Amino acid sequence: MVKDISIYIHFPYCRSRCPYCDFFRALKPKAFDERELAERYLADLDGFLPYLAGRDVKSVFFGGGTPSILSPSVVGQVLDGIAERLPVCSGAEISLEANPNTFEREKFLAFRKAGINRLSLGVQALNAADLKFLGRTHSLEEALQAMELGVAAFPKFSVDLIYARPHQRWEDWQKEIDLALSFGLKHISLYQLTIEDGTVFARKNITGLDEELAASLYEQTVFYLRSQGLERYEVSNFAASGSESVHNLVYWQGGDYIGLGDGAHGRFSAGGKIFATVDGRIAEELISAERAEELLLMGLRIKRGINAAAFKQACEADLFSFVNRAAMDMLVRQGLLAVDNEGIRLTDTGFLLLDEIVCRLVSDC
């Protein structure tokens, strides 16, 4: 069975560096050739075409960086180029990440006209003090204006928020969640603030929320959003039924995707082989065990967990033979893992120990 293909397009620049970010590549140059960048993306795609015969494009995702810096006409140029080379599924999800500091009403509407039907807005906080703390260059008013247009203009719209900020209390966090939900959001992504080596926060010795307090805040958030109709379908993502991110589910469920541009990664199978792509090129062939371990890590991130049949199709390994069976049985007895003939999945409690559980399932650690 030939799989659909998803395409990730990486834009490497940001307008400013956030002090918590460890993905930062470069500030946007004063001038860069957008058309040349678009041609690079399509040239990368051309290199993959011999492997993609008979495939339809399921989703496209412009990420970064801050791809909303791009002109809508260039985004349209890339999307047109993809459609000229590969069939695109009817209703394919076409996503773009944006920041409120790139918000211009006419520009956002032009993105929609160019073919973007899902916008993910990096708000990160919904109060002025924490926006300043997080180094965001947009104001609360700009965030709210961008959210208002995002909900109105795009069939699928999501916002990103960061929690577990120093000294954060549930009462304050709930107010931000309620403000976000007041726009009628059907999808929201929530990321825990972690202080990574090499970031500005690390150099300033900023510390995040205490680990136990952060876990408690996360649990409260999960149950509160569930009461508001948004279910956790992935450890950091919450959605009303039918509003999940199609593209991101491709990653978590072991689907095939390619990455275009510097900094882009991909995984796809062809001719009985599994390939890893880096910077718009095939980097290496993965052995079955390597892909199986990746799929275990990614698949346990989602509520539905890992389907054994899909796992075997993606990496040619038997799920129940690949995992540490003794560890799996123990995790079931501890109420952290659910197992049946179809596959394995985390319980609500298990989500709090995701990394430890994955470690135990793939080794004796």
At 179-224, the pLDDT tens digits run 999 999 999 999 999 888 888 888 888 888 999 999 999 999 999 9
Given this model, what pLDDT does residue 23 score? 65
CB-side neighbour CA atoms (13 Å) of 182? 8
Helix 288-299 to helix 308-315 angle, to the nearest 10 degrees?
Answer: 140
Question: Could you report the per-residue pLDDT of 225-279, keeping only the tens digit for each?
Answer: 999 999 999 999 999 999 999 999 999 999 999 999 999 999 999 999 999 999 9
Would you say 58 and 174 are in contact if contact means Cβ atoms under 8 Å apart?
Answer: no
Distance of CA 237 to the CA centre of its chain: 9
Burial tier of 48 (Cβ tally within 10 Å: 0-12, 13-18, 19+):
buried
- pLDDT, tens digit, for every residue of 282-326? 999 999 999 999 999 999 999 999 999 999 999 999 999 999 999
pLDDT, tens digit, 9 for 90 and up, residues 11-70: 998 877 777 777 645 666 767 799 999 999 999 999 999 999 999 999 999 999 899 999
131-180 tens-digit pLDDT: 999 999 999 999 999 999 999 999 999 999 999 999 999 999 999 999 99
**Single-letter residue type at 288:** S
Angle made by CA atoms 191, 163, 23, in degrees to the nearest 5: 40
Phi, psi of 269 (to 5 degrees): -115, 145
2 has pLDDT over 90: no
Overall pTM > 0.75: yes
Structure tokens that stand for 335 in this block:
């109420």
Least-confidence region, from 1-5, 120-124, 197-201, 231-235: 1-5
Q: What are the start-end ranges of the H helices in the chain?
A: 34-48, 72-85, 105-114, 128-133, 140-153, 170-181, 200-203, 211-227, 246-252, 288-299, 308-315, 319-322, 325-333, 354-362
